[in-house]
């Protein structure tokens, strides 16, 4: 088959130029679009980077503030512990002041009830319970001592636990042990 070129030579060149210009325009448009996209991504990246930096600075500030607050919390906890210790010490001091006269009153109450021929070997007090070890020449004097203690309003539940005859230095004596509770102003010591 035979082909005949009916397009003139100038028309072919113009067509090629138009195609080249169209391609060139499309390349320019693509370059501009690509540049705009790269520019947008660059701006977004810079903004995000600045935001990250500002958040890191804020995080560092918050961490520092947290450390300061943690230290303050420790100080408050230490203050509370110290306050509790001081309160406990004050309570102990108040209790000691309230009970400092108890031994004197206890011994005074016992001494007022001792008959002439009764002597004490030991007096022990623990939580309001008193235990007395003593000696006497007769059982009657021991009974008299117990009755005098029972008459004292400070002493409750006076009980003679033991009374036995012994020899001390060749003399017959009665060893006794008694217990009772101590109350002051209606309150047990």
Mean pLDDT value across residues 124-138:
89
Q: Tell me what pLDDT residue 6 has.
A: 57
Higher pLDDT, 79 or 128: 79
Q: Tell me what pLDDT residue 8 has.
A: 60
Q: Mean pLDDT of all residues in the chain?
A: 87
- Res. 187: pLDDT tops 90: no
Q: Which residues contact 171 (CB under 8 A, 6 or more apart)?
A: none
Cα 150 from Cα 160, distance rounded (Å): 11
Cα dihedral value 57, 62, 63, 69, nearest 10: 150
Higher pLDDT, 82 or 16: 82
- Res. 155: pLDDT tops 60: yes
CB 181 within 8 A of CB 132: no
If one looks up domain 102-188 in CATH, what number appears? 3.30.1360.100
Confidence class for position 188, pLDDT limits 50, 70, 90: very low
Q: Tell me what pLDDT residue 105 has.
A: 77
Query: What digits encode the pLDDT tens for the residues 36-62?
Result: 999 999 999 999 999 999 999 999 999
Q: pTM (2 decimals)?
A: 0.47
Confidence class for position 131, pLDDT limits 50, 70, 90: very high
Q: Tell me what pLDDT residue 153 has.
A: 85
């Amino acid at each position: 088959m035979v082909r005949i070129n009916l397009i003139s030579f100038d028309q072919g060149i113009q067509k090629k130029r138009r195609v080249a210009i169209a391609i060139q325009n499309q390349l320019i448009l693509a370059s501009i679009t690509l540049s705009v996209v790269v520019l947008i991504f660059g701006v977004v990246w810079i903004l995000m980077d600045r935001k990250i930096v500002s958040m890191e600075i804020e995080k560092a500030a918050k961490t520092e503030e947290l450390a300061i607050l943690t230290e303050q919390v420790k100080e408050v906890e230490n203050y509370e512990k110290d306050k509790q210790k001081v309160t406990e010490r004050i309570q102990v001091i108040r209790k000691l002041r309230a009970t400092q006269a108890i031994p004197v009153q206890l011994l005074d109450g016992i001494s007022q009830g001792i008959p002439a021929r009764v002597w004490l070997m030991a007096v022990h007090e623990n939580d309001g319970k008193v235990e007395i070890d003593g000696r006497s020449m007769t059982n009657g004097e021991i009974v008299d001592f117990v009755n005098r203690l029972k008459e004292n309003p400070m002493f409750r539940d006076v009980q003679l636990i033991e009374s036995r005859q012994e020899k001390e230095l060749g003399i017959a004596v009665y060893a006794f042990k008694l217990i009772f509770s101590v109350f002051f102003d209606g309150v047990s010591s």
